[in-house]
Amino acid sequence: MKFSVIVVALAVLSVLILLASKWRRSSETSSPDGEVIAQLREAGSDLSKPHPVEFFLYFPTEEAAGRAQSRLADRGFTVEVEQAEQGPDWVALARRLMVPTEAELVQIREELNALAEREGGQYDGWGTPVVQ
pLDDT in tens, the chain (132 residues): 544 333 333 333 333 333 333 444 444 557 999 999 999 999 999 999 999 999 999 999 999 999 999 999 999 999 999 999 999 999 999 999 999 999 999 999 999 999 999 999 999 999 999 999
Which residue from 110, 123, 130, 111 is spatially nearest to 37, judged by alpha carbons? 130
Sequential DSSP letters for 102-120:
HHHHHHHHHHHHHHHHHTT
Residue 132 lies in a domain: no
Claim to verify: residue 48 and residue 83 sit in the same structural domain: yes
Whether residue 49 is found in the same domain as residue 112: yes
Domain identity same for 56 and 119: yes
Q: Which domain holds residue 89?
A: 42-127
Q: Alpha-carbon distance 95 to 80, whole Å? A: 9
So what's the pLDDT on residue 30? 79
Is 67 in the same domain as 121? yes
Q: Are 57 and 116 in contact (CB under 8 A)?
A: yes
| CA gap 116, 124 in Å, rounded | 10
Residue 101 in any domain: the answer is yes
Radius of gyration of the chain (CA): 21
Q: Give me the pLDDT at residue 12, please.
A: 34
